[in-house]
Structure 1
Amino acid sequence: MSETKKRGRPRAFDEAATIEKAREVFWDRGFEGTSLDALSAATSLNRPSLYGAFGDKEDLYLGTLAGYRDDSLVAMEEALDPSLPLRENIAEIYRRALSTYLSGETSARGCFLIGTATAEAIQHSRVRDMLRQSLEAFDAEIEARLMLAVERGELPKEADPKALSLLASSVMHSLAVRARAGAPRDMLEDLARAGVDMVCGRAPQK
């Protein structure tokens, strides 16, 4: 690349950190409720710089969703460590999810993806595609672990890993919505434990 081509407008900022700051604003206010002024204030970038770096507001929002999805997939992969029993894996997914869903400066914010993208999916096809693909990616991670559980005998041979993965994900989505609605932690933890039992079967009584 020539020196002339290198000149352009250098990005004198941390792109990942900027997306994370923007995500915090979108998470609290939603896509429609987030103004460019609010994004500029949060990221310390003026409008021309935001547009130059990320495109329009929807492009930036999609970037924040992608980052959240990727972070969530890493956390899910860690929770589904195959060296641990399946019950511990599913319980750990819900524990990590609740740690995120119950965070927020003023109130529990739930899941960034479920809490904001579902509201925009009807009017914004790219958001709808991102939402669908993200949910499918989460389902696939859980399904892979459940398939292994069948092979190992942790689940009965007749178990349906795909259906159980959708059930496990549905419990997680319910936790997100109920957390955002102000449900108390103890109720959410009870729901999470019930979810583990539904997916893995009840633990043997001691």
Structure 2
Amino acid sequence: MARTKEFDPDAALDAALELFWARGYEATSMADLVAHLGIARASVYATFGSKHELYMRAVERYLESRDPALMEELSAPGPALPGVRALVRRYAGQAAAEETRRSGCLITNSAAELAARDPAVARRVELSWEYVETLLHSSLVRARAQGELPEDRDPRALARLLLVVLQGVRVVGKASSNPALVQDAAEQALTLLD
């Protein structure tokens, strides 16, 4: 007769996400995961597979908790540019704030640490960035149609620029103790929407 799991897999996945986010993939050993999750190594493998599979599931969990809010923020009815501006300022604020800047964004962290040598991570990062770009592009197309964005502005190019700015402020925010660096860059990028 099969034994029932003596732990909550969702809670364990959340704990793994927390550890990977704090330490990164390479610096987190299976022994670290076993200790942090409080479950046996065999249970980790039986439930989640390899460390890499667990990492990929943690990345998915991270995105599940953030993507809906992003869509809601950028597709609210009414004027579109306030949502875009708020998003850029929120990313810059998180990148500059002492309590959130060191952890950064798990997707950005994954891109910097693993994407160059891990095709599965690279593809997941790309999909996440494509999603953000699509949301920004849709908002900027709507803004131009509503007369908020000048007709000579290219919504696709602006969406791509803002995506790069968002990722850049996350990277620079982790390494710099100067909040003005990321906030000034974000505000300068937003002038392109005027």
Q: Scaled by the length of structure 1, what TM-score is found?
A: 0.82
Q: Is 1:191 the equivalent of 2:174?
A: no
Counterpart mapping for 1:144-155 below 5 A? 144-155=138-149
The structural deviation recorded for 1:87 is 3.5
Q: Which residue of 1 aligns with 2:59?
A: 65
- SS of the aligned residue for 2:182 comes to helix
Q: After TM superposition, what 4+ stretches of structure 1 lie above 6 angstroms from structure 2?
A: 103-107
* Residue ranges of structure 1 left out of the alignment (5+ in a row): 1-6, 202-206
1:41 and 1:104 mapped to 2: Cα distance?
A: 27
Q: Which residue of 2 aligns with 1:17?
A: 11
Change (3 A) 1:14 1:140: farther
Counterpart mapping for 1:102-181 below 5 A? 108-181=102-175
The structural deviation recorded for 1:81 is 4.1
Contact kept in structure 2, 1:121 and 1:128, CA below 8 Å: yes
- SS of the aligned residue for 1:31 comes to coil
The structural deviation recorded for 1:84 is 5.0
The structural deviation recorded for 1:106 is 9.7
Q: Give the % identical residues.
A: 28
Q: Scaled by the length of structure 2, what TM-score is found?
A: 0.87
Aligned residues: 194
1:75-118 deviation line (CA, Å, top 9, x unaligned)? 21232143353332123213432454456779622221111333
Higher relative contact order (CA 8 A, sep 6+): 2
- SS of the aligned residue for 2:24 comes to helix
2:16 and 2:152 mapped to 1: Cα distance?
A: 46
CA RMSD of aligned residues (A): 2.3
The structural deviation recorded for 1:51 is 0.7
